[in-house]
């Protein structure tokens, strides 16, 4: 795999028709808190409910994660929506585009060239194809720049929106882990995967 990757080596942000995808920055914390604090967003993400200050500390931490090299390393793209004004407060908050969601890339095995994808999008911006648009671009970036053999996603089987996104990306359901998570009862997890060869066979495009 073409690791290590350092965010500083990104010559330019990634771009889609509607968004700019760039590393999360500390000043994104107000925008990020706007979706991090919503119970429906946290339903299937193992995050606690955070105060605005706690969300700031969490964003600071994620903004500092700029390297993918070893197992467990993660990197987060902010989904900055063009023409939607940021809700950032405080001194020196110049007008700029709003971060409406973020996408994670995590090294699950550097030795075996395996990367995990994760995502979250503010509910007010769901249902418009924005998550599919942004994750497709991150999948392209990952295969072209990081050279993994396989991308994977772990999804609570009750999380039908995420499972639908996996399928939109052309990921296959590979396995269901039975009762591997306790959340108000034992829950199953779905493992989705996408091989480099599968992605290349489609000409580097993700499924619609
Ligand atoms: C998972 C999540 C990112 C999916 O968001 P989403 O907006 O449903 O996903 P998409 O961007 O692919 O949008 C697809 C929907 O937009 C609709 N849509 C509208 N315009 C569209 C367009 N131009 N292109 C594609 N889809 C479009 C699609 O019909 C589809 O709606 P449907 O689900 O009713 O069929 C979102 O539900 C989320 O953030 N969930 C909470 C966090 C979470 O659980 N994260 C995962 C932990 S594993």
Domain residue extents for the chain: 5-150
Rounded-to-integer distance, Cα 22 and Cα 98, Å: 12
Q: Judge whether 165 and 132 are in contact, CB under 8 Å.
A: yes
Q: Take residue 101 and report the two structure tokens written for it.
A: 């969601």
Give the residue-averaged pLDDT of 91-107. Answer: 89
Cβ neighbors of 43 (< 8 A, separation 6 or more) are 159
Domain 5-150 belongs to what architecture?
A: 3-Layer(aba) Sandwich (3.40)
Ligand 1 within 6 A of CB of 164: yes
Q: Take residue 122 and report the two structure tokens written for it.
A: 């503010």
Which of 128, 190, 117, 110 has its CA nearest to residue 157?
A: 190
Instruction: Kindly report whether the peptide bond that precedes residue 15 is cis, defined as omega within 30 degrees of 0.
Output: no
Q: Helical H runs in 46-195?
A: 52-63, 130-141, 160-168
Interval 139-158: pLDDT, tens: 999 999 999 999 999 999 99
Neighbours of 186 (CB within 10 A): 10
Q: In what order do the strands lie in the sheet with 97-109?
A: 14-15, 19-23, 74-85, 97-109, 114-121, 150-156, 186-195, 172-182
pLDDT at 121: 98
Ligand 1 within 6 A of CB of 134: no
11 pLDDT above the threshold of 90:
no
Q: Which residue has the higher pLDDT, 49 or 155?
A: 155
Q: Judge whether 100 and 63 are in contact, CB under 8 Å.
A: no
Does the pTM surpass 0.75? The reply is: yes
Residue nearest to atom 9 of ligand 1 (CA): 131
Ligand 1 within 6 A of CB of 45: yes
Residue nearest to atom 25 of ligand 1 (CA): 129
207 pLDDT above the threshold of 80:
no
Which of 128, 159, 171, 162 has its CA nearest to residue 16?
A: 128
Rounded-to-integer distance, Cα 146 and Cα 50, Å: 32
134 pLDDT above the threshold of 90:
yes
Interval 164-187: pLDDT, tens: 999 999 999 999 999 999 999 999
pLDDT at 203: 87
pLDDT confidence bin for 56, thresholds 50/70/90 = very high
Rounded-to-integer distance, Cα 133 and Cα 20, Å: 11
Rounded-to-integer distance, Cα 185 and Cα 181, Å: 8
Residue nearest to atom 22 of ligand 1 (CA): 129
Token match 């509607």: residue? 18
> Which of 79-93, 109-123, 136-150, 162-176 comes out lowest in average pLDDT?
79-93
């Amino acid at each position: 795999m073409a690791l290590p990757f350092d965010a500083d080596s990104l010559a330019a942000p990634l771009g889609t028709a509607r968004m700019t995808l760039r590393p999360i920055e500390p000043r994104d914390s107000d925008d990020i808190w706007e979706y991090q604090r919503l119970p429906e967003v946290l339903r299937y993400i193992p995050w606690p409910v955070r105060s605005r200050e706690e969300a700031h500390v969490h964003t600071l931490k994620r903004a500092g994660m700029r390297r993918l090299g070893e197992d467990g390393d993660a990197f987060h793209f902010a989904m900055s929506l063009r023409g939607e004004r940021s809700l950032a407060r405080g001194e020196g908050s110049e007008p700029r585009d709003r971060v409406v969601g973020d996408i994670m890339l995590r090294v699950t095995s550097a030795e075996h060239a395996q990367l995990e994808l994760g995502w979250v999008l503010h509910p007010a911006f769901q249902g418009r194809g924005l998550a599919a648009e942004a994750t497709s671009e991150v999948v392209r970036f990952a295969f072209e720049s990081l050279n993994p053999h396989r991308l994977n996603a772990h999804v609570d089987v009750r999380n039908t929106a995420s499972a639908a996104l996996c399928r939109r990306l052309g990921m296959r359901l590979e396995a269901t882990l039975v009762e591997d998570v306790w959340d108000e009862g034992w829950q199953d997890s779905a493992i989705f995967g996408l091989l480099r060869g599968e992605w290349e066979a489609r000409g580097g495009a993700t499924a619609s």
